[in-house]
Structure 1
Amino acid sequence: MVEAQGEWSEAHATGYSDDAGTGTGGACGYDDVFKHGYGLTTAALSTALFNNGYSCGSCFQLRCFNDPQWCSTKTITVTATNFCPPSSDPNAKDGWCNPPLKHFDLSLPMFRSLVNNIAAGIIPVQYKRVPCSRQGGIKFEINGNDNFLLVLVYNVGGVGDLKAVSVKGSKSGWTTMGKNWGANWSANANLRGQSLSFSVTTSDGKTVLSQDVAPQNWEFGMSYEGKQIT
């Protein structure tokens, strides 16, 4: 489990991708981290932190720690948007994402902001969970097909990560959605022609209801904005 907010813990960090942040949202489903509002302030988490995708959307504050040769004095805040897979060789010297290690693979610009020498490859860091600051409401990107609803839930404030999602059509009752992968939640339901409401519960137990978020003529591939965690 990920540590509670406010508690500093120790880990290591590296940088990956490129200056444009290409491919930094894969395992959570945020295919375009800019479209989904996360930009370059992103991180891929090791197995010990990723929590099988339940950490997607959570926010962490990091600072380089106890290594004056490499550390800058800056502190950054990033959102968990991807997974750093373990090495196929559990004994590999570069297996920083192997269990039980806690590791952040940061977008390259975020990593560089933590170091005073761009030659740094891996650095010790301290990290803690922090509240996520989001603009606007929680967003629901609807995908799937007429009999299978797949919803990417993003732009979640508060603790940022979810433990439950339900959907309701205007002509039907509430359906509990299952966690499909990353930040995607799914239900075997045909709700075409109905306006959709969503209930989401964050990992700290807060629930917010977004009534009739998607209109009756909602379309696959579109995103709809609901209420935000307060």
Structure 2
Amino acid sequence: MAFSSQNLLNLSISLFLLASLAKAQNCSDCFIQSRASYYPNSDEYGTNHGACGFGAFGATVNDGHVSTASDLYRDGVGCGACYQVRCTNSNYCSDNGVTVVVTDQGSGDNTDFILSERAFSKMAQTEDLAASLKSLGVVNIEYQRVSCNYPGKNITFKIDESSSYPSYLAFAIYYQQGQKDITAVQLCETQSFTCKLLQRDHGAVWTSTPPPSGPLAIRMLFSDGDEANDTWIVPVNNIPQDWNPGATYDSGVQVN
């Protein structure tokens, strides 16, 4: 079949538009404009009482480079998500900014993030400029979702101290990895592999009343919003039958 010059031009335009659309849908360097502030803290880390239910872990994870989020909290789905945040004032700000983990909910003065003081300072080019940056209080930023990486760490389950063996089980998921959200969790009795879908109690905390008996497996659904890419992750390690409130259990798995 012969193609006219006009047909070839139309084909080229169509291919260009399709390539542009694909690039926009899979953009790895697309930033969203917003604002950020910080919450003063005597030790510059996060808070032990964040809405995600991480406790002390939420203050110190990621070397204390943590943040509250407003709309990005997403009723707790956003807990554990990582973002690259960089301020845009070239007089103070570095090109890379800082990677933060969402561990709390909060907003102020039209901000998407309230960073720990440690994370806010990390956006500056130097320690001296960090002091000047903090004096501004609120700064213009740009941010993008990035993968969470915890070298040498597996996804870990922390049994909440409010749990009561064997009638009530609550746990938070630590070291969420990759760039997907945990949108559903199943608790499975390992002998029969009978599973029950859990309710998100708040933040990253999931509960079961009563939990199944025996050793338990926790299955997690990782999702990026496209059902075709949803993936159920099954831990290598089980939670023991005689689990204890306050204990942590290593899942044995990492997620890219």
Mark yes or no: TM-score above 0.5.
Answer: yes
Paired residues in the alignment total: 212
Matching residue of 2:176: 156
> What fraction of aligned residue pairs are identical, expressed as a percent?
25
Moved over 6 A (4+): none
Distance 1:178 1:208 in 2: 18
Per the alignment, in what secondary structure is the counterpart of residue 56 of structure 1? coil
Matching residue of 2:116: 107
Q: Is the 8 A contact 1:36 1:155 kept in 2?
A: no
User: Shift of residue 58 of structure 1?
Assistant: 0.4
Structure 1 residue runs of 5 or longer lacking an equivalent are: 86-94
Q: Is the 8 A contact 1:24 1:82 kept in 2?
A: no
Matching residue of 2:232: 207
Q: Is the 8 A contact 2:58 2:66 kept in 1?
A: no
Distance 2:203 2:242 in 1: 27
Q: Which amino acid aligns with 2:45?
A: G
Name the CA shift for 1:4/1:153 in 2 (closer, same or farther; >3 Å): farther
Matching residue of 1:138: 155
Distance 2:180 2:60 in 1: 14
Distance 2:38 2:102 in 1: 14
User: Shift of residue 170 of structure 1?
Assistant: 2.9
Distance 1:217 1:158 in 2: 31
Per the alignment, in what secondary structure is the counterpart of residue 28 of structure 1? coil
Per the alignment, in what secondary structure is the counterpart of residue 196 of structure 2? strand
Name the CA shift for 1:71/1:177 in 2 (closer, same or farther; >3 Å): same
Matching residue of 2:4: none
Q: Is 1:176 the equivalent of 2:211?
A: no
Using the size of structure 2 for normalisation, the TM-score is: 0.74
Distance 1:203 1:39 in 2: 26
Q: Which amino acid aligns with 2:123?
A: L
Structure 2 residue runs of 5 or longer lacking an equivalent are: 1-24, 225-229
Q: Is the 8 A contact 1:61 1:76 kept in 2?
A: yes
User: Shift of residue 113 of structure 1?
Assistant: 2.2
Determine which of 48, 54, 60 is the counterpart of 1:30. 54
Considering fraction of residues, name the structure with more helix: 2
Matching residue of 1:12: 35
Name the CA shift for 1:154/1:109 in 2 (closer, same or farther; >3 Å): same
Using the size of structure 1 for normalisation, the TM-score is: 0.82
User: Shift of residue 10 of structure 1?
Assistant: 0.7
Considering fraction of residues, name the structure with more strand: 1
Q: Which amino acid aligns with 1:81?
A: T
Aligned-residue CA RMSD (Å): 2.4
